[in-house]
């Protein structure tokens, strides 16, 4: 065997059941397989076809269950009317905590079959840390959402607040952080403590961070500045889904080659039970000279039964690699994937989302200067019109978006992530950045 040969590793990928979490992983999985690794992929049954098309072995849930994010509001209509804090608490309890024990046992069975495997876990897959503590599993986190690792300089996650200026509102952040933890983690903390007890583990409080490798699928300028960044955190750029088959473009696609401004309005794939943003955007831009493209995310979202204005074009889906180069501004609810892809194309945004992790995404859009955060779930047509007009007429938004695009362009996320994962499989030790920031004290140590 040559000295520089890297032996093939068995990698177990565990992702949430959601197109926004599964599809961006496909290019990474293909790159890992190209490098000679074997990949087994654990996720919800609806995504088996995607897993197998990527070339991975599908691991079905047996004792475990998944809540499909794309059907979350359809299957649980009671959450549509919930306030953001109550919805966040429901999400943590029913999507993450309730599913954790079964997922732990499913994955444990796979690691008993092949103890030398490496776990690649979506952020929020709480079973990963339990597998490490109980069975010594080596695991990497792949984060496809805003970085939620706590930092004393940052406000509590979920509020969408920008970092406080020095000597400014730290007291606000401290009080809000304690209240937010009690409101969202109270029941979950008890639930997880009971699970840890059943597994023979001591109680633990707060988020547990992998000590081995944390891959943030973004760039540093999209995150808030931190006092300490864990040395095992690596920014690898955006993981962008790549269509595996040709899609039929709508008949009006040729109209996008125009001197008129093109506004893309999309509400993503999770909050599909209501089309408020889309219907109000249609009303806002009806009398403008812009061409308005509305993508609904698939069946289940309505944009209204009224006659559409003559400048509006609607489709359930248009591949972003075909659509975004034709667009001038994106209006969306702050979905992480949509925002990342818009920024890679140097597109400024108007974002309007207050549910789930969207306040954090929207806050980062305004923080990096590439857009306007409306800080509401249901903006009025007048507010939308003014925001888009500002984006189109004030050059600093586009300049900031271009700076972000240039930063993303310096990365090849599938290759960078695959190389780091390959190192982890070979070394089975923390993979730290070449130039370390001040160390971040993780709650878990390598075994």
**Mean per-residue pLDDT for 252-278?**
83
| Segment (H or E) for 97 | none
Could you read off the pLDDT of 282-333 as tens digits, one per residue?
999 999 999 999 998 754 445 554 589 999 999 988 999 999 999 999 999 9
Amino acid 181: pLDDT: 54
Amino acid 180: pLDDT: 57
pLDDT(218) > 60: yes
pLDDT(418) > 60: yes
Sequence-ordered alpha helix ranges (H) in 116-223? 127-135, 170-198
- Give 159 or 331, the one with higher predicted confidence: 331
Amino acid 190: pLDDT: 87
Q: What percent of the chain clears pLDDT 90, i.e. is strictly above it? A: 70
From 113, 141, 119, 123, select the one nearest 131 (Cα to Cα): 119
SS3 content of the chain, % helix, strand, coil (to 5): 40, 10, 45
- The answer to whether the CB of 104 falls within 8 A of the CB of 131 is yes
Amino acid 404: pLDDT: 98
pLDDT(355) > 70: yes
- The answer to whether the CB of 300 falls within 8 A of the CB of 267 is no
DSSP assignment letter at 316: S
**Mean per-residue pLDDT for 173-197?**
71
Tracing tokens 């984006």 back to the chain, one arrives at: 391
Amino acid 270: pLDDT: 57
Amino acid 1: pLDDT: 35
Amino acid 242: pLDDT: 82
Residue 255: other Cβ atoms inside 10 A:
15
Residues in the chain: 447
- pLDDT confidence tier of residue 442, bands split at 50, 70 and 90: very low
**Mean per-residue pLDDT for 335-358?**
95
- pLDDT confidence tier of residue 3, bands split at 50, 70 and 90: very low
- The answer to whether the CB of 210 falls within 8 A of the CB of 232 is yes
Could you read off the pLDDT of 34-48 as tens digits, one per residue?
999 999 999 999 999
Amino acid 420: pLDDT: 98
Least confident of 178-187, 372-381, 390-399, 420-429: 178-187
What integer best gives the mean pLDDT of the chain? 88
Amino acid 75: pLDDT: 92
Beta bridge mates, 59: 42
Q: What percent of the chain clears pLDDT 70, i.e. is strictly above it? A: 87
Amino acid 395: pLDDT: 98
pLDDT(213) > 50: yes
Beta bridge mates, 141: 121, 214
The CA-to-CA distance between both ends of the chain, in Å, stands at 29
Q: How far apart are CA 262 and CA 280, in angstroms?
A: 17
**Mean per-residue pLDDT for 161-170?**
71
Amino acid 443: pLDDT: 34
Name the phi and psi angles at 431, rounded to 5: -100, 100
Least confident of 50-64, 165-179, 356-370: 165-179
**Mean per-residue pLDDT for 115-134?**
96
Amino acid 125: pLDDT: 93
Amino acid 184: pLDDT: 63
Q: How far apart are CA 444 and CA 149, in angstroms?
A: 13
**Mean per-residue pLDDT for 345-355?**
95
Amino acid 303: pLDDT: 54
What predicted TM-score, i.e. pTM, was given to this entire model?
0.90
Burial of 215 (0-12, 13-18, 19+ CB in 10 A): buried
- pLDDT confidence tier of residue 86, bands split at 50, 70 and 90: confident
pLDDT(440) > 60: no
């Amino acid at each position: 065997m040559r000295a520089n040969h890297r032996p093939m590793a068995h990698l177990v990928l565990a992702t949430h059941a959601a197109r926004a979490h599964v599809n961006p992983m496909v290019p990474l999985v293909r790159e890992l397989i190209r490098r000679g690794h074997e990949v087994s992929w654990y996720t919800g049954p609806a995504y088996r076809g995607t897993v197998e098309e990527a070339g991975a072995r599908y691991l079905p849930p047996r004792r475990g269950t998944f809540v499909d994010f794309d059907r979350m509001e359809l299957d649980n209509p009671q959450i549509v009317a919930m306030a953001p804090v109550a919805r966040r608490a429901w999400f943590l309890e029913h999507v993450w905590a309730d599913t954790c024990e079964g997922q732990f046992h499913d994955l444990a069975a796979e690691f008993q079959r092949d103890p030398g495997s490496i776990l690649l876990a979506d952020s929020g897959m709480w079973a990963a840390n339990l597998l490490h503590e109980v069975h010594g599993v080596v695991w990497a986190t792949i984060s496809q959402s805003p970085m939620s690792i706590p930092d004393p300089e940052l406000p509590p996650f979920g509020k969408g607040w920008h970092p406080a200026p020095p000597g400014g509102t730290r007291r606000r952040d401290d009080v809000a952080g304690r209240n937010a933890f009690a409101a969202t983690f109270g029941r979950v903390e008890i639930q997880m403590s009971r699970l840890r007890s059943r597994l023979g583990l001591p109680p633990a409080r707060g988020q547990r961070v992998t000590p081995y490798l944390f891959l943030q699928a973004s760039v540093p300028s999209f995150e808030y500045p931190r006092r300490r960044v864990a040395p095992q955190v690596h920014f690898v750029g955006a993981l962008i889904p790549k269509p595996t088959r040709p899609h039929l473009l709508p008949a009006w696609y040729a109209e996008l080659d125009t001197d008129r401004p093109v506004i893309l309005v999309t509400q993503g794939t999770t909050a599909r039970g209501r089309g408020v943003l889309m219907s109000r955007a249609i009303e806002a831009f009806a009398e403008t000279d812009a061409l308005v493209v509305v993508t609904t995310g698939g069946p289940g979202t309505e944009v209204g039964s009224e006659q559409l204005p003559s400048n509006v074009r609607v489709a359930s889906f248009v591949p972003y690699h075909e659509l975004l180069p034709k667009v001038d501004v994106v209006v969306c609810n702050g979905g992480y994937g949509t925002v990342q892809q818009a920024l890679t194309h140097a597109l400024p945004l108007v974002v309007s989302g207050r549910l789930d992790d969207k306040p954090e995404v929207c806050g980062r859009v305004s923080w990096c200067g590439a857009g306007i955060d409306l800080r509401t779930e249901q903006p009025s047509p007048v507010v939308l019109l003014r925001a888009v007009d500002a984006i189109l007429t004030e050059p600093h938004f586009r300049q900031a978006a271009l700076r972000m695009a240039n930063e993303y362009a310096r990365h090849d996320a599938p290759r960078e992530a695959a190389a780091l994962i390959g190192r982890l499989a070979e070394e089975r030790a923390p993979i730290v950045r070449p130039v370390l920031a001040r160390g971040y004290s993780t709650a878990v140590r390598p075994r």
